[in-house]
Structure 1
C-alpha cells in the first residue's frame, strides 16, 4: 500500500515540479493525453505502437484510436464534469495486446476542468492471468483424475485384503507410490516424469541400502503425467513383490529394467521390461498362485495397461519373474 505522504521543499513552484512528472510517467511506460472540458486535445505523448499515428493535423479519439474505441471513450468521459471523477476501460487489440485507459477529471488553477488520460499496457498482466486460469483448470482436472485413481485403488485393495491392518498397510504403500510420482510430475511443471527417475524413486524406499540391485538401461523417456502415475504404480507393485516374495535381498541378484522405443502401426511406442531372477534356497519352489492372487497382479495385468492404452505380460516361472509393458508414447519427449 502506498503511503499518502507528499512533501516538497518550501519555495518550490508547483509548475516547476510538474515539469518533472511528465518524463517520469513516460519512463514508466504510460501514455498521456490531456484534453479540455470540450474534449479538445491539448497534449498527447508516448502512444503505444498500436496507435502510433505518424501525422495528424488535429488529434482526436477517433483519429488516434478508431471509431469503436472512440465511442467507448466518449461514453466514459461524458459524466466527467466534476473534479475527482474517474473511470477506466480496457481495450483489446488483436489477440494479445490489452490496454487500460484511465481517465480522470482534474481542475487546474487556470482553465477549469481538464481530462487527463493515461494508457497503460496490461498485455503481460492479462497473459499471466490467462495462464493462471488455464493452470488452475488443469490442476482441477488432474486432481479429479488422481482422486479417481485413489478411489479405485482403495476399493480394489479392500477387496483383496483380509483384515483392516492388511488393507491399511497395502493402501498406504500405494498411496505413497502415487505421491512420489506426483512429486516428479509437479517438479517438471506438469510435463511428466522421466522413466529412470521414476524407477529410482519407486524402488529406493524398499531397497535403501541396495540401490545397485536395480539396473536400468535403454531409452530414458519423459512419460506423460498419466503414464507416470500408472507406470509408477506398476513399479511399486513389482518392487514390493520382489522384496516380499522374491529372493533379491537373499541372493543379491540384480533386477534389470530396460526400455526401448519402437514404431508400431505408425505410432511410437515404449516397451518397459522388468526382469527378476529368482533364487531358491533348500529347493524351495515358487508359489505362483500366492504371487498372483492379490491386487498387485490386477494392477500389472489390467489397470496399468488399460490406463496407458497399452498391453502387458506378467509371467512367473520357477526361475524368474518378468513383466513387459508396451504402450504408445503420446506427448513423450527426450
Structure 2
C-alpha cells in the first residue's frame, strides 16, 4: 500500500458489510476531512456511488475483481479498481484503488487525433500523386520519358513533405522551399537562383504544389534553357498583396534566356516539354489560384497568384 500511495493511488478497504475500515490519499475533489462514517455515497455522491454499488455487487469471492472509469468535468478521468481479498482475520474484504488516468487519456485522445490527421494528409498526398501520374502519362511519348518525369516529380513532393514534417505540419517557408527544390539541380551554382520578397509560411497544400511548380521550372531551366551556359541569374519573387480585399501571394519566376537562343526553340508547341500542364493547370487549380506561363525568345516567365488561406487544414 505505501508503494501505491507513493505512485499517487488512493486506497479504500471495506469489510464484507461494505463498511469503510481504511481510506487514504483521496483526490482533492473527493477528499473530505473528519468524516466519521465515510461511505461511497458521502464521499463520491449519488451517481458514482450507484455505479460502485453495481460493480461491487458482483465481487463477493476472493479473487473477483472489476473496474470502472469516472469522468469528472471535461478533463479529469479516474479509474476505480475493486478486488475481493481474503484477509487472515475478518474474511473477504474489498480493496479499492483509485488512479488518476487524466494525463494518460489526454495522450490517447491526442494520439487518435494525430492518427486521423496523418490518415487525412496521406489520402491528400496519394491524390496528388495520382494526379501527377495521370498528367505525366498523358504528355509522355514513351515509358522511359514517363518514368524520368514521374520520378522527378515524386522527388519534388518528398522534398516539400520533409519541410512540412519538420515544421510539425504547419507548412514550409517560401525561401526554404525554393532552396530545397533548386539546389539538387544546381549543386555548384546555387547563386544562379536568387529569391526576393516576403518569406511567407505556406500551408501544407500550397507547399506541396508550389514545390512541384518550382521543380518543373528549375528542370526546364537546366534541361532546355541557357542557365548554365550563360550564367544569367534567375530571379524568384514572393510578394504578399491584396486583391479585392483578399490576402494573396504572388510568385514570379523570371528567367532571362541566352541571347544566342534560336526563336523556334520557344514556341507554344514546346510547352508540353516544359511541364505546362502542371504549371498552368494542376498547380493553380490545387491552390485555387491563377497562373500565366510565357515562353519567348528573350525569357521564360511564370506568375502564380493564389489566396494565402488556400489549403489551410
Smaller-chain TM-score bracket: over 0.9
SS at match of 2:304: strand
Ranges in structure 2 where 5+ consecutive residues have no aligned partner:
none
CA contact (8 A) 1:156 1:295 kept: no
- How do 1:43-192 residues align onto structure 2 when only pairs under 5 Å count? 43-54=22-33, 56-192=35-171
Q: Residues 143-187 of structure 1: CA distance to partner in whole angstroms, max 9, x if unpaired?
A: 111111111111111111111111111111111111111111122
- Residue 305 (1) aligns with residue 284 (2): yes
Change (3 A) 1:235 1:60: same
- Residue 321 (1) aligns with residue 284 (2): no
Q: How many residues align?
A: 311
Aligned match of 2:16: 37
Q: How many Å separate the matches in 1 of 2:212 and 2:139?
A: 17
Give the counterpart of 2:244 among 265, 268, 275: 265
CA contact (8 A) 2:10 2:27 kept: yes
Shift of 1:268: 2.0
CA contact (8 A) 1:160 1:295 kept: no
Q: Residues 24-51 of structure 1: CA distance to partner in whole angstroms, max 9, x if unpaired?
A: 3222111111111111111212112232
Aligned match of 1:284: 262
Q: How many Å separate the matches in 2 of 1:32 and 1:266?
A: 63
Give the counterpart of 1:196 among 158, 168, 175: 175
TM-score normalised by length of structure 1: 0.88
Aligned match of 1:17: none
Q: Residues 291-315 of structure 1: CA distance to partner in whole angstroms, max 9, x if unpaired?
A: 4134711111111111111111212
Q: How many Å separate the matches in 2 of 1:170 and 1:258?
A: 26
CA contact (8 A) 2:206 2:310 kept: no
Q: Residues 195-229 of structure 1: CA distance to partner in whole angstroms, max 9, x if unpaired?
A: 11111111111111111111112221221111111
Q: CA RMSD in A?
A: 1.8
Q: How many Å separate the matches in 1 of 2:276 and 2:212?
A: 12
Q: Residues 82-116 of structure 1: CA distance to partner in whole angstroms, max 9, x if unpaired?
A: 11211111111111111111111111111211111
CA contact (8 A) 1:222 1:332 kept: no
CA contact (8 A) 2:236 2:251 kept: yes
Change (3 A) 1:332 1:289: closer
Give the counterpart of 1:235 among 204, 207, 214: 214
Q: How many Å separate the matches in 1 of 2:82 and 2:249?
A: 60
Change (3 A) 1:100 1:295: farther
